[in-house]
Each structure stands twice: as C-alpha cells, then as structure tokens.
C-alpha cells in the first residue's frame, strides 16, 4: 500500500542524486589532467617526465594555488546549488493511466504520457548507487523523436525502483488487449511461467564474446599508426622507443576497457514471460532491462569475423531504450553456436522467422561496383604518381585487383528473403549480418534505381524503423525490382504497429 500511495502523489528523486551530479566536476578534472598527459606521451615512461612534473607542481605560485582552490570550490558550490534546486523542484507520479513528470525550476517542464507508450523500463546500479542502496530507473518512450536518448531518469531507493517498474508494467498489462494465448498458438511457443529462463552466460563465455567481437580493422589500424608514425615524422622526434611506449599505453588502456566491459556483462541472463523479456547483467555496474516482445522492431543475427572461425552467432535487437546509449547494450544473446541461437530466436522472436526462399543479388550489382573500383583505383594511382611514389603503378594495380575482388565478394554475399509477414536481408564479406524485419514495424520504404539499372530491372531498397540512429536506417544491395515492389506492397498492407500509443 505504501508504494501505491507514494507513486500516486508527487515523488522526488532520492537525495543522493545531488552527490551523483558532482561527478561532472571530477570528470572535468580528469579530462584536463589526461589532456596534459596526452601531450607528453613520448616521455611518460621516463623518470625525467615525473621529475619535471613534480618540480612544476612545487614551483607554483601560492597565489595561483589559492585562486585554483577558490575556483574549484566555487564550481562545486554552483553544481551543488543547481543539483539541490533540481532535487527540490522535480517530481513524478502516476495518475490513472498516465505517467506525470514535473520540473518547476527556471526551465519548467510538464510531461503527461500514456503508460502504454513506455517502451522500456531499465534499472541500473553504479558502484556509488550500490553503496548507498539506490538504483537509477530509466524510462524510454516508443517515440522516434527521442529514440537516441533516455526520456526520463530517476534515482530511487532500490526497493522503490523495483516497485515503480512493477507498477508501470502492471498498468501496461491491464491496458493491453492482446490475446497472449492466441499469439503463443500462432507462433508455436508454449505457455510459460513468469521469469522462465531463456539463456545465461558464464564469465568465460562473456570473455569469449568480448574477445571474438573485436574488430580486426581497429587492431590493424592501431598497429599501422604506432609503427608508421616514425616514418612520417621528418624531424625524427617520434622514434621506435616512443612507438613502443605508445603501444604499451594503448594496450594497457585497451585491456582496462576490456576488463571493465567484461565486468559490466558478467552474469548475463535472459528471461521471459508471456509478454515481456528481462535481461540482467553486470558485476560492478548492475543493469536490468525490461521490455515487451512487441516492442522489438528488428532482429540482427551477427557473426564477427573472429566468431566465424568458431561458427558462433550473436543476436541483437532494435528496441527503443535498449542500446541507445554507450552504457547500454542492444544484445539479446551473446555469442553462441547456431543451435542455441535458433532456440533463443524461437523463444523471444519467433514471429521474425521467414518461410521464403533466399534470393541472390542481381548481376547488375556488378556495374556500380565496377565504377567504384575504377574511380577509386584511378584516384589512388594519380595521388601516388604525383607524389613521386616509386611503385605507383604496381600499387595502383594491386588496389585495382583488391577493390574489384571486394566488389565481387560484396555482390555474392548479399541476399534477401521474404514472405507475407517478414523481410530478411543478409550481407557481409568478413563479418556477416542478417537483419529481420516485420512489415508492421517498417515505417517507410524507398526503391532506388537509375536509367541503366531500371532497364536491367534492378534496383535497391532503403527502409526505416523506429529505433536509435544506429539501427534506424537500412539499405539493401541490388536485386530485381519486382521483389522490392512486392515487399513495399506488404508494408502498405500491414498497419504500422511501432508507434501506436495503445495496443
């Protein structure tokens, strides 16, 4: 009863939100310090660097030290005052079937939204929040205008955060008119109890996922930067020792980021009930995602280049509020074998399966690939020629061969498939990806062609879904135009279910 009364009347954030906002001050200081250190990477591993740094600090004028301290104190005071004002003047509450948010500061804001239009309710717990017993509740609306950011974020006591999420989903369930039993019968899935386990991952499997998801291009680029920079330095100030120092620093930073990301994915588990999907992960920063299966707007089956060696697959999904920030993840399933991936899809996204046959690219796709190959190779050759590079002709020929090979492989690896309900598109030379769409989640389609390709009855299609910017826009390769016309007709026939307020 206490939770219902609290959420039925204006409720503030937990007072610790004031101290969380002070993190901005310390983050700024870290940026300043790291900026100063980054300018001395060549000397950072030498004792002289630290000796000079100590001498510089001890030689500072007392007046400058006092002014710096006063400035820092003033900055902290301003942030504290603004945070206190925000805490005092910001409220939220539930009124009937609506969620109300009020901010009565100088920049006033009043928002009233139907609870049915909330796409996800996520709970996160940072190290600080775990120490003080609070959680951050993040609400994301099913809206294209705010798909790239969290709409509302609140800091509450841990049990209050759980109670708020439960209250919101209880109201959403009460409003829903969807016949879950009928849906389960149509998709071939069985009745399940709340919190039925779908899949979980051990720490070793999480580490495997992070390592095999690394991009080889990033590694190659990093090696080139480290060892090519001395050759491009005419003054020879960046020697091999500096390159090794920079490489060690880069490896240390990359290793630290890898460990941090592994800790944030540790304990990754996926559960579901008849309507919702629950994802929990994190050893240091705990995160809990909750969203309806109907809010999944697309499914991505991915194979990073290293994962292809071991025949492993990862599954990502497009859900507003899931993966729209750097701290979040759009992953439904980490890297697993094909059989496990198919089981996860059957339980969580069975309605995205396609019964249509796979259709290869139109041979006309080789025409734009050939044009791009010739133009790119010519530009590279002319640049090397005018730069008086000794092997300009041989290098230009090699670029021509590799670019032509890449264009041909791109043509061979692109396919589509569709039936009366879904559309699939696959691509990828090194890293492979298959994207699955339901027609009811596609907001618009555009068929693109030109004078030459239209005569060959070929073109490509672009489409948009409701999601964050990274997953919103999609474009296929070149296929026969009648296939795209059929897909577009299916999109028109199916009512757009991605933006409805009430379901």
User: With contact defined as beta carbons under 8 Å apart, do 319 and 120 qualify?
Assistant: yes
Regions of the chain short of the pLDDT cut 70: 1-6, 23-69, 143-148, 175-195, 218-219, 221-247, 321-329, 468-469, 496-503
Q: Which residues pair with 94 in a beta bridge?
A: 99
Task: Find where tokens 């969580």 sit.
Answer: 348
Query: Rounded to the nearest 5 degrees, what angle is found at the Cα of 364, between the Cα atoms of 361 and 369?
Result: 90
The model's pLDDT over 247-289, given as tens digits with 9 standing for 90+, comes to 677 777 778 888 888 998 899 999 998 888 999 998 888 888 8
User: With contact defined as beta carbons under 8 Å apart, do 120 and 322 qualify?
Assistant: yes
Residue 81's pLDDT is 87
Task: Find where tokens 């299609």 sit.
Answer: 461
Task: Find where tokens 């070929």 sit.
Answer: 458
Q: 474: part of which helix (H) or strand (E)? A: strand 473-475
* DSSP one-letter code for 467: S
Q: What are phi and psi of 203, to 5 degrees?
A: -65, -35
The model's pLDDT over 369-400, given as tens digits with 9 standing for 90+, comes to 999 999 999 998 888 888 877 888 888 889 89
Angle between helices 203-212 and 240-265 (to 10 degrees): 140
Domains of the chain, first to last: 2-177 (2.30.29.30), 196-351 (no CATH), 359-493 (2.30.29)
Residue 4's pLDDT is 46
Tokens of 469: 């910017």
Report the candidate in 1, 328, 409 with the shortest Cα–Cα distance to residue 153.
328
């Amino acid at each position: 009863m206490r939770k219902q009364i609290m959420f039925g009347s204006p409720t503030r954030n937990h007072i610790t939100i004031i101290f969380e906002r002070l993190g901005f001050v310390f983050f700024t200081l870290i940026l300043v310090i790291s900026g100063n250190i980054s300018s001395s990477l060549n000397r950072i591993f030498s004792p002289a660097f630290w000796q000079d740094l100590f001498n510089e600090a001890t030689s500072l004028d007392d007046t400058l030290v006092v002014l710096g301290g006063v400035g820092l104190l003033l900055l902290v005071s301003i942030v504290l005052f603004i945070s206190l004002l925000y805490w005092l003047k910001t409220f939220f509450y539930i009124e009937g079937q609506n969620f109300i948010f009020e901010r009565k500061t100088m920049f006033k804001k009043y928002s009233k939204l139907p609870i049915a239009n909330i796409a996800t309710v996520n709970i996160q717990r940072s190290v600080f929040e775990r120490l003080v017993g609070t959680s951050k509740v993040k609400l994301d609306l099913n809206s294209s205008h705010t798909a790239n950011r969290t709409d509302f974020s609140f800091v509450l006591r841990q049990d209050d955060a759980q109670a708020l999420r439960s209250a919101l989903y209880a109201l959403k369930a009460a409003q829903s008119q969807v016949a879950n039993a009928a849906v389960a019968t149509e998709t071939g899935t069985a009745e399940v109890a709340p919190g039925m386990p779908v899949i979980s991952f051990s720490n070793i499997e999480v580490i495997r996922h992070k390592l095999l998801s690394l991009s080889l291009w990033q590694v190659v680029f990093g090696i080139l930067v480290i060892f090519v920079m001395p050759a491009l330095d005419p003054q020879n100030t960046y020697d091999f020792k500096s390159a090794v120092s920079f490489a060690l620093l880069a490896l240390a930073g990359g290793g630290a980021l890898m460990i941090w990301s592994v800790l944030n994915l540790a304990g990754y588990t996926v559960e579901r009930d008849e309507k919702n999907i629950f994802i929990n992960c994190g050893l240091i920063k705990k995160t809990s995602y909750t969203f309806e299966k109907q809010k999944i707007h697309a499914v991505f089956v991915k194979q990073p280049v290293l994962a292809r060696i071991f025949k492993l697959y990862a599954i990502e999904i497009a859900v507003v509020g899931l993966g729209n920030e750097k701290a979040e993840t759009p992953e439904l399933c980490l890297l697993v074998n094909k059989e496990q991936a198919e089981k996860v899809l059957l339980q969580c996204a069975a309605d995205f399966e396609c019964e249509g046959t796979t259709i290869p690219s139109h041979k006309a796709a080789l025409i734009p690939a050939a044009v791009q190959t010739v133009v790119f190779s010519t530009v590279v050759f002319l640049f090397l020629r005018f730069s008086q590079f000794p092997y300009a002709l041989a290098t230009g020929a090699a670029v021509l061969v590799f670019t032509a090979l890449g264009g041909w492989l791109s043509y061979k690896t692109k396919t589509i498939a569709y039936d009366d309900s879904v559309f699939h598109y696959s691509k990828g030379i090194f890293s492979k990806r298959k994207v699955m769409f339901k027609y009811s989640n596609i907001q618009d389609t555009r068929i693109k062609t030109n004078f030459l390709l239209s005569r060959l009855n070929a073109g490509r299609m672009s489409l948009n879904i409701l999601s964050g910017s990274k997953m919103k826009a999609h474009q296929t390769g070149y296929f026969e135009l009648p296939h795209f016309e059929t897909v577009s007709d299916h999109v028109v026939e199916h009512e757009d279910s991605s933006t409805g307020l009430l379901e």
